[in-house]
Amino acid sequence: MKVRSAEMPQEITFGNGYVLVASNITPYEEEVDDKVKRGYEYECTRYSTEEFFSQKVASLEEQLQAAKIMLGVD
């Protein structure tokens, strides 16, 4: 979901049983009622804690395998 905030978001925020991941963070500026409004616009995805760490482990395993192949190590 696309979100706007006046403050720069944390890329990863841990909650009670969930993780919020902010991505594609870009600053924005718009004029509202003759005033300039500035902030950040970004995609926000919510994962269960289990799902988040499962994806991270899978990604690390893929990176490790790629490094082994590049180094010629098994």
pLDDT at 73: 84
Q: How many other C-beta atoms can be found within 10 angstroms of the C-beta atom of residue 5?
A: 13
pLDDT at 51: 95
pLDDT at 32: 87
Do the Cβ atoms of 31 and 56 come closer than 8 Å? no
Q: Is pLDDT at 62 greater than 90 in this prediction? A: yes
Residues 6+ apart with CB under 8 A from 28: 4, 38, 39, 40, 41
Q: Is pLDDT at 74 greater than 80 in this prediction? A: no
pLDDT at 45: 97
Distance CA 14, CA 32 (A): 33
pLDDT tens by residue, 8-59 = 999 999 999 999 999 999 999 999 889 999 999 999 999 999 999 999 999 9
The encoded tokens of residue 63 equal: 């990176």
